Amino acid sequence: MTRVQQPRSKLHGKVVLITGAASGIGAATALEVRARGATAVLLDCDAEPLAQVALQCGADTLAVVADVTDLPAMEDAVAQVLARFGHIDMVFANAGVAAFGPLAYVDPNAWKRCVEVNVFGVFNTVRAALPSIMRQRGYVLINASVSSFAHPPVMSAYAASKSAVEAMGDSWRIELAAHKVDVGLVHAGWVSTPLVTEGALHPGFVRLRATMPGPLNSETSPQAAARAIAQGMERRLSRIWVPGWLRLLFALRALLHLPFAERELRRAAPQIEAIYLEGLEAEGALASSFGPRERERTLARARGPVSASSWHPPG
């Protein structure tokens, strides 16, 4: 029997820089693009889990430890990639954090950090990689989340940041078209990542999710999300939906914050606030506003800055 040869992926031979690559969507996407023949360059501020993902990706994988909010560190990271591979064809600005809490009580520094990572981190990532992307007539992809158009209470920093990067991506798509650079946005719902898992540790977050009907509350695996993202990269799509039916919700976005659509959230908001205040009294502002990983990062930053350093698997 003659074996039918599968067509080679359009990602084959491409150099793809992925931020937030130590876990969740970023890690799964790194493995997926690697399976499709791309060279995955991994960037994250968490060194140990990043090294583990790099080992899974293979011996030619470059992993760079850097903070996306530091533009010089991102420029240095890109310089390391260019020194190793000569060019960058695609960049996936995926790194993100979430801050949780009512406006009156959320830790202001946590709110600010969420915007710094999710907005300025995207700017720094794309700005640093753009000269090579333009030379390659490449592709820029940004994780905008479903929160770019569906704005839950007590997550104002996250919703604001994702709305901002959606606007940035839409603007850049027009700007860069003449340079033959395509720009895409990932609109993902609940994906089973550490960000979502840590959210489940907060009773207020659990109450928030309880307001959402079945389809809006279902989770997608990181692997399924990565497949959709890699397929979108191959086609250089302007929008990637995870899951696909979210395109319908996007089409109805003008209705999402009319009174009838907000009814259940308005009912739940006082309960969520009360739960948050209980945690605030018991655990303090930082613990109430951030999940465990970002709390630890906050404490680590207080001990000293993270500089851009690289690592790649032996072999």
The domain 15-311: what is its CATH number?
Answer: 3.40.50.720
The span from the CA of 25 to the CA of 108, in Å, is 27
pTM of the model: 0.91
Residue 286 has pLDDT above 80, yes or no: no
Percent of the chain with pLDDT over 90: 73
Measured CA to CA, the distance from residue 30 to residue 25 in angstroms comes to 8
So what's the pLDDT on residue 194? 76
3-state SS, residue 314: coil
Which among 249, 93, 89 has a CA at the least distance from the CA of 172?
A: 93
Domains of the chain by residue range: 15-311
Q: What token pair was written down for 49?
A: 């889990």
User: 107-110: long-range contacts at Cβ-Cβ below 8 A with a sequence spacing of 24 or more?
Assistant: 107/285, 107/286, 107/288, 107/289, 107/290, 109/286, 109/298, 110/157, 110/285, 110/286, 110/289, 110/290, 110/294, 110/298
Q: Which residue has the higher pLDDT, 306 or 130?
A: 130
pLDDT of residue 195: 74
pLDDT of 290 reads 73
Q: Read off the pLDDT of residues 165-189 as tens digits, 9 standing for 90 and up.
A: 999 999 999 999 999 999 999 999 9
* pLDDT for res 310: 60
Instruction: Note the residue count of the chain.
Output: 315
Confidence of residue 5 (pLDDT cuts 50, 70, 90): low
Read off the pLDDT band of 252 (50, 70, 90).
Answer: very high
99-157 pLDDT per residue, tens:
989 999 999 999 999 999 999 999 999 999 999 999 999 999 999 999 999 999 999 99
Q: Mind telling me the catalytic residues?
A: 158
